[in-house]
Amino acid sequence: MSTTLSIRRPDDWHLHLRDGAMLEGVLPETARHFARAIIMPNLVPPVVTGDDAAAYRDRIMAALPEGMSFEPLMTLYLTEATDPADVAAAHAAGLIHAVKLYPAGATTNSASGVRDLARVTPVLEKMAEIGLPLCIHGEVTSPEVDIFDREQVFLETVLDPLRRRIPDLKVTLEHITTSQGIDYVAGASGDIAGTITTHHLMINRNHILVGGIRPHYYCLPVAKRSTHQQALRKAAISGNPRFFLGTDSAPHTDPNKESACGCAGVFSATNTLSCLAHVFEEEGALDKLEGFASLFGPARYGLPPNDVRITLEKRDTPVAYPPKVETGAGPVTLFDPGHPLHWHVLD
């Protein structure tokens, strides 16, 4: 097996940067390796209008360290008051690349999300008309549904009926965690794709719960059984262009993770490429990594792949990643894959 691998510079198709001091602290961790990223809009308050997106983009660019190259691809947070005309105008101006659907209460800062899909039908119909993708957090929030079943129930009761009502809607099912989600995206007709995170390829629910609760592995959607993890790995290495990388890297300060009601989110921006090379090598599919990380996402969003290439090199000495990233908002613990990572990203 070759000890070096050259791929086009990758992009991240699902990223949380937060704002303020946290943004300033974590943005360099993504920009070091990734050329572009779809930026999540669940700030407080959320990014709901074109003007909000423009202002947030300006704050991101202002926080980018000198000498780094990075393009934020902005999104809008879908609410029941979203104006279809504003969405269309922001898209026409090249400002936004997607709209994000959070079922209300599904995850961090989702209280302003959608409770009744019928109320956002005009927005979704306009998006289908103009070809603007809808990025979906695919979980139901009904309290009677077990947390490990919420993605599967969403597919059956929300997503499939929605796509039947608006068949031309371009959908990205984000951070798939189940074999049912993989099967749905792989087998569905129409314009649908799915992102897979770094951490869901590397952990399952045992990593969160066996031997003590590990809050830095807790995320939403929560990691599932190892059988689902294996389905995600199979999809990631399949070469199917419907599946590509969206890290869902989501920083929270350690006090907010390590509390009686810890926040959901895994921060993986710093070591994602080393993690992915490890996974793809384990699966005997290093030749499939470039498609998953660098090619299929741009094609999905109508963008060219990056011209610049990066090189990964496997060494006997593991990469010395820091356990935490210090930010002005507080320390953020880096995703721990549970073993050394030997794939180095060369400068």
**Cβ pair 247, 314 in contact under 8 A:** no
Tracing tokens 């109508």 back to the chain, one arrives at: 302
64 CB-side CA count, 13 A: 18
CA distance 40 to 70: 15
Among positive and negative, which fits the CA dihedral 288, 270, 333, 59? negative
Total count of residues recorded for the chain: 347
- First CA to last CA distance, the chain: 22
Whole-angstrom distance, CA of residue 223 vs CA of residue 229: 8
For residue 5, give the nearest of 320, 307, 290, 306 by alpha carbon.
290
- Name 114's bridge partners: 103
CA nearest neighbour of 234 among 175, 286, 299, 280: 280
Q: Would you list the DSSP string of 122-183? A: HHHHHHHHHT--EEE------TTS-GGGHHHHHIIIIIHHHHHHSTT--EEE-S--SHHHHH
The set of catalytic residues is: 248
Helix H segments across the chain? 20-31, 50-63, 84-92, 121-130, 150-154, 160-165, 179-187, 198-202, 205-209, 226-236, 254-257, 272-282, 289-290, 296-300
CA distances from 295 to 12, 122, 262, 290, 306 (A): 11, 32, 35, 6, 8
